[in-house]
Amino acid sequence: MRRNDYEPDAVSPPGATLLDLLEERGMSQAELANRTDRPLKTINEIVKGKAAITPETAIQLERVFGAPASFWNNREAQYREFLARRVHDAQLEKVAARIREVPTRAMEKLEWIPVEKTRAKKLERVLSFFGVASIDALENRRHDARFRQSSAFEANPIAVGAWLRKGHLDADQIHCAPFDETKFRQVLAKARRLCGEMPDDFAARLVQLCASAGVALVFVKELPGTHLSGAARWLSPTKALIQLSVRHGSDDHFWFTFFHEAAHLLKHARRKVYIDADGGIQNDEEAEANQFAADVLIPPAAWKGFVEARAFTKRSIRLFASQVTIAPGVVVGRLQHERRVAFSFAHDLKRKISF
């Protein structure tokens, strides 16, 4: 994605090399014109950098001087690219102020883009990150209908777009088998067992499990002010993506968000991008995903019996969690969410998660 970071401040035209050879050989421009059967004016304009060395001229220069045609073609290409970049950079400088909404400092801190000093260079890095050629193309992303269902996107569309883009880039590095719904449901059953066991390498194992069923699972830290928890979307007909920020840093939030995003992939339209954030839009799809995650983590009948007993102590929570083979923190989180206990209760039963 990223080109070589070395960019020379100046590149001499190939005509300068040609002039050096003429002086070295004691050959005049007129003599070269005769030897190549080219107009003297053309030779003079090549020397001055006003005319380009064509592939045909390169072959003629090869015959006269011995330097291969590829040498002249490469020199010409490098010089023309240098001129084009100089014009491009000047154009970027004129519109660089328009990236104020892009959280470049945070993106640099997270090493999503390299640190640059000038606004034009920052803009160039941002455009490369998003895979677009102009600031207008970047700004058009805010009008993409696939993102409109998220209030988080409405609040800070470029920051949310950057987070989603990073997830896509990371997912590209994960080789996945073609998506298989039956296999993915089996993966979710195995994921639930991981939730109960919580081995030290659970994250790596979860990534591998998801990939085996056609789902790339990535962990991407949220950008400031976005309050993002997760997202789910399809990258192709055979590859889906679950993206988690792990912003709350506890096992109950992690597992609920994971199964919530999985529900979107299994139950809802493939054309949408589902973005979940604090204060996000609540609709039937979100409610269904919430219920799916709650029921997968804790069987409804078991939960009903537990809450009806109204014995919410740390001991009873551990016992119930053991009976349903789930992490105690997940039980605590649900009790807190349903306001059956105070949000300060039994926090020590939750396991901290960070990546």
CB 324 within 8 A of CB 299: yes
Window from 130-134, 210-214, 216-220, 341-345 with minimum mean pLDDT:
130-134
Q: What angle do CA 231, 233, 239 make, to 5 degrees?
A: 130
DSSP bridge partners of 239 = 236
5: which DSSP letter?
Answer: S
Judged against a pLDDT cut of 70, whether residue 148 lies above it is answered with no
β-sheet with 274-277: strand ranges across: 215-219, 239-244, 228-236, 274-277
Cα–Cα distance, 19 to 143 (Å, whole number): 53
What pLDDT is recorded for position 1?
41
SS3 124: helix
Percentage of residues in the chain with pLDDT exceeding 90? 61
Cα–Cα distance, 250 to 347 (Å, whole number): 9
Size of the chain, expressed as the number of residues it contains = 355
268: exposed, middle or buried (C-beta count within 10 Å: 0-12, 13-18, 19+)? middle
Cα–Cα distance, 62 to 96 (Å, whole number): 43
Beta-strand (E) ranges in the chain? 215-219, 228-236, 239-244, 274-277
Window from 119-133, 170-184, 330-344 with minimum mean pLDDT:
119-133
One-letter amino acid at 231 equals: A
Most confident option among 15-19, 99-103, 177-181: 177-181
Judged against a pLDDT cut of 80, whether residue 235 lies above it is answered with yes
Cα–Cα distance, 118 to 106 (Å, whole number): 16
Cα–Cα distance, 152 to 245 (Å, whole number): 14
Confidence band (pLDDT; 50, 70, 90) for 4? very low
What pLDDT is recorded for position 145?
43
Q: What is the mean pLDDT of residues 67-90?
A: 85
How big is the chain by its Cα radius of gyration, in Å? 30
List, for residues 13-47, the tens digit of each pLDDT value.
Answer: 888 999 999 999 999 999 999 998 889 999 999 99
One-letter amino acid at 117 equals: K
What pTM does this model have? Answer: 0.75
What pLDDT is recorded for position 315?
96
Confidence band (pLDDT; 50, 70, 90) for 333? very high
Cα–Cα distance, 26 to 342 (Å, whole number): 92
List, for residues 250-290, the tens digit of each pLDDT value.
Answer: 999 999 999 999 999 999 999 999 998 876 667 899 999 99
Longest dimension (CA), the chain: 104
Cα–Cα distance, 287 to 178 (Å, whole number): 28
Cα torsion angle, 114, 119, 121, 122, sign: positive
Cα torsion angle, 140, 141, 142, 145, sign: positive
Q: Closest by alpha carbon to 320, among 351, 349, 289?
A: 349
Window from 122-126, 154-158, 340-344 with minimum mean pLDDT:
154-158
Q: What is the DSSP string of 144-183?
A: -GGGTT-HHHHHSHHHHHHHHHHHHHHHTTS--PPP-HHH
What pLDDT is recorded for position 92?
62
More confident residue, 127 or 178: 178
DSSP bridge partners of 216 = 241
CB 79 within 8 A of CB 12: yes
What pLDDT is recorded for position 107?
95
